[in-house]
A and B are shown apart, each in its own frame.
Chain A
Amino acid sequence: MATAARTDPMLPQPYSVRQVVKETADTFTLTLESSNGVGGNRFQPGQFSMLWVFGVGELPISISGDPANRAQLVYTVRSVGQATHALVSREVGETVGVRGPFGTGWPVEKAEGRDVLVIAGGIGLAPLRPVIYEVLRNREKYGRLVILYGARSPRDLLYRKELTAWARQRDTQVLVTVDYGGLSWRGHVGVVTTLFKYARLQPVRTLAFACGPEIMMRFVARDLDTHGLARENTYLSMERNMKCGVGFCGHCQYGPHFICKDGPIFPYDRMRPLLEKYEL
């Protein structure tokens, strides 16, 4: 029975909520632990799970925790609708169904020996946080780590304490910007692409990972292209309405790709023709 459960990707496994942390007014980080020991906690940075709130609905959510933590799965969720609201309202000890992990991960191994450029917009920092953990844990394998993070306003910034801690690590540069800074904000104001000029990039030895609203990623990828970063060295995390998570249902079809199975992580050279298509 346990073997069947382990191999059936459509069968959610029960996980217990261990912790709920309020990151911003509408965004929460949930820590889950398997209730029956059947669920798999191994994941690659960038992969996602399908999370069931029983009786409400199922949601694709990127894993935002540390890949080295095999005991727990961590998700950062923005409450924007009925299902996400129900998910972030779970109390400690309540059960959530988990399927996955699914999809492709960020090619962190390809970044070994190179500088790693992480570009995040809004909640897009969540799927990139596992990359940051991975690079910082194996610091000697990588060159510089540059984290560029844009948010709507100072109060929408995720993981504030970690951002400060990451900035103190060697060979690590963290630059944060907001679209709308209040009078008390002393950081950068402007879109995330305006941070490139402060990042001291060496395009030929850099691998870039970007996640955020699709239009932001389009601007980011285009600007990186202009800065001389090879298109195959820029990776984007794409998003479409996912349902089955394993390429059966076709809900997340994006041109010739299924985002859930072929992605969500794609190199820019494969995404570029599609990003420029209207209404796709």
Chain B
Amino acid sequence: METLEHIIAEHSFFSGLESYYTNLLTGCASNVRFEKGTYIFREGEEANEFYLIRAGKVALEIFAPQRKPIMLATLGEGEILGWSWLLPPYQWKLHAHAVEPVRAIALDGKCLRTKCEQNHDLGYEILKRFAQIMEQRLEATRLQLLDVYAVGK
């Protein structure tokens, strides 16, 4: 059976991180499951964790008044869900909806924030990794906004 420490150490998101740090992260980690149709988090709620998705699919949704929810993106196996835990005011900006049964590792953001404040090297490593994900998602969103398949484009 794979241990949490092994899964975290082997995950590409934590690639290159010293084992001392992966041990620290493991101390903040737990296995979680979400049934299909449940919301992992909702907009406006406190953001105190993030997730390494191990299986299943999560839809990031946004609501607008008098409209059905709009699915902005889906995340699947191997991907990171959630970065609002990292930045004040530590509130989710979107809904995360399990559109398939989801298995994930939850990392306690409060615990991690404290460890990052105490150890800035760890904090920098974590921030670098999240910055890369933010950059990739921002670029994908820009391309999505261009609506490149529309007639005349």
A205 neighbours in B (Cβ, 8 Å) = none
Q: In the complex, how many angstroms separate the beta carbon of B101 from the nearest chain A beta carbon?
A: 13
Question: Does any Cβ of A come within 8 Å of B15's Cβ?
Answer: no
Which of the 9-residue segments A86-94, A109-117, A213-221 touches chain B?
A213-221
Which of the 9-residue segments A135-143, A159-167, A180-188 touches chain B?
A180-188
Kindly state the separation between the CA atoms of A188 and B140 in the bound complex, as whole angstroms: 13
A152 neighbours in B (Cβ, 8 Å) = 147, 149-150
Indicate whether A191 sits within 8 Å of B143 (C-beta atoms), given known contacts A181-B71, A197-B78: yes
Kindly state the separation between the CA atoms of A188 and B71 in the bound complex, as whole angstroms: 10
* Contact assessment for B151 and A193 in the assembled complex, using a CB-CB cutoff below 8 Å: no
B143 neighbours in A (Cβ, 8 Å) = 191, 193, 215-216, 219
Return the chain B residue nearest A123 by Cβ: B149
* Contact assessment for B149 and A80 in the assembled complex, using a CB-CB cutoff below 8 Å: no
- Helix, strand, loop or mixed for chain B's interface? loop
* Contact assessment for A188 and B74 in the assembled complex, using a CB-CB cutoff below 8 Å: yes
Question: Does any Cβ of A come within 8 Å of B81's Cβ?
Answer: no
Question: Does any Cβ of A come within 8 Å of B24's Cβ?
Answer: no
Interface residues of A in 199-227 (CB under 8 A from B): 212-213, 215-216, 219
* Contact assessment for B148 and A215 in the assembled complex, using a CB-CB cutoff below 8 Å: yes
Interface contacts (Cβ under 8 Å), in number, total: 66
A185 neighbours in B (Cβ, 8 Å) = 71
- Helix, strand, loop or mixed for chain A's interface? mixed
Question: Does any Cβ of A come within 8 Å of B108's Cβ?
Answer: no
Question: Does any Cβ of B come within 8 Å of A35's Cβ?
Answer: no
* Contact assessment for A213 and B152 in the assembled complex, using a CB-CB cutoff below 8 Å: no
B71 neighbours in A (Cβ, 8 Å) = 180-183, 185, 189
Question: Does any Cβ of A come within 8 Å of B123's Cβ?
Answer: no
Residues 67-104 of B, flagged 1 when their CB comes within 8 A of A and 0 if not, give 01101111011110000000000000000000110000
Interchain Cβ contacts under 8 Å between A and B, 15 examples:
A78-B151, A80-B152, A122-B148, A177-B74, A185-B71, A186-B100, A187-B74, A188-B76, A190-B73, A193-B140, A194-B73, A194-B140, A212-B149, A215-B148, A216-B143
List the 9 closest A-B pairs by CB distance, nearest first.
A122-B149, A152-B149, A213-B148, A191-B143, A190-B73, A189-B74, A181-B71, A189-B71, A188-B74
